[in-house]
Amino acid sequence: MIKVTSKKLVTSLIATVAITTSSLCASSDVLATVNGDKITKQDIAILLGNPNIDFDSLPKKNKNQILDQIINNKLLTEKAVKSGVEKDAEYKESLEKLKKDLALRVWLKKESEKVTVSEKDMKDYYEQNKAQFKVPATLEARHILVKTEAEGKEIIKTLDKASNKKDKFVELAKTKSVGPTGPQGGYLGKFPETKMVKEFSDAANALKVGNYSKSPVKTQFGYHVIYLEDKEAAKTLEYDKIKNRIKQVLLQEKFRNFLESEANKLRDKAKIVIKL
């Protein structure tokens, strides 16, 4: 028999576990009642398909819209039940399908709770995958972009005479820079060295923190005067700071492997007829 596995199916089953776990254990805080029937935060999570929704933090307008929708659903459900739809064959068929789906969800939840990973597993994963935990070197800088080298040199002369270099740099950036960051004092934020064109990155990286370039830096965009706010060397994130992330990766991987193995065992015993 040919073994066929679907990683997409397994991934979707893992996602199902997350929603089921939250749905079964969600807060029972009562938000409203409709003819005595309670509306809870669990109802909100199910409606939005988001087990981690923080209903309390939503804007009041959004809360009211969601609550209105659930109230309408409750009222329409009451009407549907009173109509006798539960005696309908289509209803009974759908109910059986829902029961099977729920059985799968509860089983997945129970099986996922059995999966464990050891500290050794996590440390081994960290050591074997250190490359993915590397943070590149970053620079934090400002710049003044002008069209000519002469303009750049004049700006540097003005900076040389200033008592407060940074304040003067910000002022000049706002009045002289033709770049889009001029109104923000030329602030570029933090960025990896490789994000900017090489000429700019090399010049910025060569500066000491708190210093500015002593000659205009030419790039394809024009001439830059650069002020270095801060720099951070490349580093690898420490194990203790990412161990929880690693744990989740390993738990999901282990559970995915378990599901694939179980599915293959069941396929070996099942009578499957595909009619495509």
94-133 confidence digits (pLDDT tens) = 999 999 999 999 999 999 999 999 999 999 999 999 999 9
**b/e per residue, 174-208, with b = 16+ CB within 10 A?**
eebbebebbeebbbbeeeebeebeeebbebbeebe
Q: Residue 218: its pLDDT value, please?
A: 98
Torsion, Cα 263 264 270 271, to 10 degrees, reads: 110
The mean per-residue pLDDT over the stretch 238-263 comes to 96
What are the pLDDT digits (tens) for 180-201? 999 999 999 999 988 999 999 9
Retrieve residue 216's tokens: 């205009």
Q: Coil, strand or helix: which one is 115?
A: coil
User: What is the predicted pLDDT for the residue at 79?
Assistant: 94
Band (pLDDT 50/70/90 cuts) for residue 29 is confident
Long-range CB contacts for residues 210-219, cutoff 8 Å, separation at least 24: 210/165, 210/166, 212/156, 212/159, 212/165, 212/169, 213/156, 214/156, 215/152, 215/153, 215/156, 216/146, 216/149, 216/151, 216/152, 216/153, 216/156, 218/149
Between CA 77 and CA 34 the distance in angstroms is: 11
Of the listed ranges 84-98, 152-166, 219-233, the least confidently predicted one is 84-98
Task: Supply the pLDDT for residue 27.
Answer: 44
Question: How far apart, in Å, do the first and last CA atoms of the chain sit?
Answer: 18
> Look-up: residue for tokens 């370039």?
213
Output the pLDDT for position 30. 87
Cα-based distances in Å from 231 to 78, 138, 139, 168, 199: 63, 6, 4, 21, 17
User: Closest Cα partner for 258 from 270, 246, 247, 266?
Assistant: 266
pLDDT value for 4: 42
3-class SS of residue 59 = coil
CA distances from 212 to 160, 174, 197, 264 (A): 10, 16, 18, 64
Cβ-based burial of 213 (10 A; exposed 0-12, middle 13-18, buried ≥19):
buried
Would you say residue 82 has pLDDT above 60? yes
Per-residue confidence band for 18, with pLDDT thresholds at 50, 70 and 90: low
Structure tokens at 266: 């069941």
Work out the average pLDDT over 44-55: 82
- Hey, what are 45's tokens? 């999570």
Task: Specify the CATH number of the domain 137-233.
Answer: 3.10.50.40
For residue 53, give the nearest of 35, 77, 31, 78 by alpha carbon: 31
pLDDT average, residue stretch 252-268: 96
